[in-house]
Amino acid sequence: MVEQRSLGRSAFTAFNYVFLILISLLCLFPLIHVLAVSFSSSEAAAGGLVNLWPVGFTTASYEYVLSRGEFLASIQVTLKRVGIGVIVNMLLTILVAYPLSKEVRSFPYRTLYAWLFVVTILFNGGLIPIYMTVKYTGIMDTIWALVLPSAVPVFNIILLLNFFRSLPKELEEAAFIDGAGQWATLWKIFVPLSMPALATIMLFATVNHWNSWFDGLIFMNRPEHYPLQSYLQTIVVQQDLSDIASQDLDMLSEINNRTFKAAQIFLGALPILLIYPFLQRFFIKGIVLGSVKE
C-alpha cells in the first residue's frame, strides 16, 4: 500500500514537472523568437526563415537602434520615471498600509478608510476626469504626469497591510514598552521584518512603471518626452517609421522593419529580465509568508 502511494506520488510529481516545463517553454518561445529575429539578417527575417535561432547573424539592428536619439531619450525618461515612481509608490504604500493594519480598537475608523481605498479598485473617475486633473494641476508633459496619477497603488497596499497584520503583536507591544513611538516601530521593526513583502511590492511597482505606455501617449505632448513603452508603441503598433528614410542608407540595407522592431522590443524587456532573478526568492517568500499563521 505504501509502495503504491509512493509510486503514485512520484508519477504525480513527474507529471507536474513536465507540465510546468512545457508551460515555461511556451512562455519563452516568443521571446526567443524575437531575440533570434533581432540578430538575423534582413533577408532571412523578411523571408520568414527565422525560428528559434538567428539566420545570417548580425548585430546591425542593435547598432542602429542604439544610435537613435529617440530610443535613448525614451530610455532616459523611463529610468527617471522608474526611479522616482518606485520610491513614491513604496513610501506611500508603507505609510498607508501601516495604520490600516491596526485593529479597530487602535484605529476606530480603520474599516471605513480601508473600504474607501478598496472602492477605488472597483470604480474610477474615467479617462477624461483624470486627464483634466493632470492638465489643470500643471504637470502635463512632465515626469510628474507619469508618476503622481499612480502614486498610491491600492492593490500593493492591501498586500502589505495583510503582511503587517501577520507579524506578531508582541513585537509591537515590546517596542511600546521600551518607549518607541509609532514612527520608530514602523521603520525599525515592521519595515525590516517585511523585506520579502516589500521586495515583492517593489517588483510590482517597477514592472508597472516600466511597462506602462498609455499614460505617456495622453500626458506627453512631445514625442521626445515619451517613455520607452510609449515610444515602442508608436513604432511597433502604429508603425510610425517616417523618420527612418533620412538615416544612413548603408545601415538600412542591413536591417528591415522586423529586425529593427525586434531589437527594440528585446532591449525594452531586458532590464526586467535582469532584475527579476535577484528578486525572485523575495517574491516567492513574500507571497507564501502572508498565508502562514501560527
* pLDDT tens profile 71-100: 888 999 999 999 999 999 999 999 999 999
**What is the Cα–Cα distance from 184 to 293, expressed in whole angstroms?**
25
Cell 531586458 locates to 270
Is residue 145 very low, low, confident or very high in pLDDT (cuts 50, 70, 90)? very high
Mean pLDDT calculated for residue range 257-265: 81
Does 179 have pLDDT greater than 90?
no
Q: Is the separation of the CB atoms in 50 and 258 below 8 Å? A: no
So what's the pLDDT on residue 88? Answer: 96
pTM of the model: 0.79
Q: Tell me how many degrees the CA angle 38-41-47 measures, rounded to the nearest 5.
A: 100
Residue 195, amino acid: M
Is residue 69 very low, low, confident or very high in pLDDT (cuts 50, 70, 90)? confident
Domain 67-289, CATH number (from 3.40.50.1370, 3.40.50.2300, 1.10.579.10, 1.10.3720.10): 1.10.3720.10
Q: How far apart are the first and last CA of the chain?
A: 33
Residue 269, amino acid: A
Look over the chain and give the mean of its residue pLDDT values, rounded to a whole number. 82
Sorted by sequence, the CB contacts under 8 Å of residue 208 that are 6+ apart come out as 150, 153
